[in-house]
């Protein structure tokens, strides 16, 4: 016998499962808590198994509930895509776009999103800033439309497209003895202590690969999870850093940091637009993809000129 499940019930269930709270779901949906509870009971009766467990005030998903949650998220995405496609066929610019970006690209991500919003004011934007590990988790869960990051993951099925060069440079405090030294050798550089990003960071992976290729050992100093923390620690004289050249314009202009003239630097990497393979792109996603490929470098250039 087919289950008698409605889209409304699945929508209510998705909200409760996401918040793990009947009260917060009711507030989000502008309904009373008894109304939400009644719909969930009817859904459980249709499924024939409990979807939630309650221990006091704590709500958790059962194994069956986790399965239903997975499918309800997929159904919700398809319904949103259908709505956007239908709206686009009417000649309207409406939709929703969820983008996640690497923390090291966040220097110009807000400007990029602002420029996109100016071009497509009818599209609601949601922006997450995360480290590489979190970005890969979001891609695995297929819970974002687009990701802007460094090297795409190899163990997740994704499509990727390079859209902008990302040069990595060696930065030092303005008082560093090597600040005016020309063409510093890699052997001399290897004598310095380097501040490190967390394991798995795209910048750290590129840095470690570069030193390994040149058969040099990195003298590791403190480890930090944010690019801003690296820059502050370099300014404090705790070591050198390797960072994206795009993230230090302000520090160079104000004389807080200097870029060392090191042989074989910058290390040139790429920024990539990444999304799940076989993902059906909505009109909003298509518009964003085209905008990033065509306009990202112009936005980055205008950021440097401001």
Mean pLDDT score across all residues of the chain: 87
Listed in order, strand segments (DSSP E) in 103-211 are 123-130, 146-149, 158-173, 193-197
User: Are 133 and 204 spatial neighbours (Cβ–Cβ below 8 Å)?
Assistant: no
Name 261's bridge partners.
none
Least confident interval from 82-96, 134-148, 154-168, 179-193: 82-96
The per-residue pLDDT for range 76-129, each reduced to its tens digit, is 777 777 776 666 655 546 778 899 998 878 778 888 889 998 888 888 889 998
Give yes or no on whether 93-164+270-305 and 166-268 have one common fold.
yes
Q: What is the CATH number of domain 7-77?
A: 1.10.10.10
Report the topology of domain 166-268. Answer: D-Maltodextrin-Binding Protein; domain 2 (3.40.190)
The predicted pLDDT at position 142 comes to: 87
Distance (Å, whole) CA 88 – CA 90: 5
Report the percentage of the chain scoring pLDDT > 70.
93
Distance (Å, whole) CA 242 – CA 233: 12
The predicted pLDDT at position 3 comes to: 67
The predicted pLDDT at position 196 comes to: 92
Instruction: Say what the alpha-carbon torsion angle 102, 103, 104, 105 is, to the nearest 10 degrees.
Output: 60
The per-residue pLDDT for range 214-236, each reduced to its tens digit, is 999 999 999 988 888 999 999 99
Q: How far is CA 41 from CA 44, 74, 113, 188, 230, in A?
A: 5, 22, 41, 69, 52
H helix runs in 141-244, sequence order: 186-189, 202-213, 227-235
Any idea where the domains of the chain sit in the sequence?
A: 7-77, 93-164+270-305, 166-268
The predicted pLDDT at position 159 comes to: 92
Backbone angles phi, psi at 201, to 5 degrees: -60, 140
pLDDT at residue 1 is higher than 50: no
pLDDT at residue 254 is higher than 70: yes
Distance (Å, whole) CA 93 – CA 95: 7
Report the topology of domain 93-164+270-305. Answer: D-Maltodextrin-Binding Protein; domain 2 (3.40.190)
pLDDT band at 147 (very low <50, low <70, confident <90, very high): very high
- Whole-model pTM: value is 0.62
């Amino acid at each position: 016998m087919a289950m008698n499940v409605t889209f409304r019930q699945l929508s209510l269930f998705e909200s409760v499962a996401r918040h793990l709270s009947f009260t917060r779901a009711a507030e989000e949906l502008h309904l009373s808590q008894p109304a939400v509870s009644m719909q969930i009971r009817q859904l459980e009766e249709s499924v024939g198994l409990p979807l939630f467990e309650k221990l006091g005030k704590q709500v958790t998903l059962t194994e069956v509930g986790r399965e239903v949650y997975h499918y309800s998220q997929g159904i919700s995405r398809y319904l949103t895509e259908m709505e956007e496609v239908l709206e686009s066929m009417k000649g309207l610019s409406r939709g929703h776009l969820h983008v996640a970006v690497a923390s090291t690209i966040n220097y110009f991500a807000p400007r990029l999103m602002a420029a996109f919003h100016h071009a497509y004011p009818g599209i609601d934007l949601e922006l997450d800033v995360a480290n590489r590990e979190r970005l890969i988790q979001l891609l695995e869960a297929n819970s974002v439309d687009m990701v802007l990051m460094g090297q795409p993951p190899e163990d997740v099925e994704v499509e990727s497209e390079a859209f902008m060069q990302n040069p990595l440079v060696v930065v030092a405090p303005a008082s560093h003895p090597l600040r005016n030294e020309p063409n510093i050798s890699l052997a001399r550089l290897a004598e310095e202590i380097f501040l490190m990003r967390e394991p798995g960071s795209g910048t750290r992976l590129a840095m470690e690969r570069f030193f390994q290729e040149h058969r040099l050992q990195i003298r590791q100093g403190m480890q930090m999870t944010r690019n801003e923390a690296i820059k502050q620690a370099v300014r404090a004289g705790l070591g050198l850093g390797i960072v994206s050249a795009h993230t230090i314009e302000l520090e160079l202009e104000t004389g807080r940091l200097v870029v060392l003239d090191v042989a074989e630097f910058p290390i040139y990497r790429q920024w990539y637009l990444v999304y799940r393979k076989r993902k059906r792109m909505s009109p909003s996603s298509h518009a964003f993809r085209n905008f990033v490929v065509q306009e990202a470098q112009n936005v980055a250039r205008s950021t440097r000129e401001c």
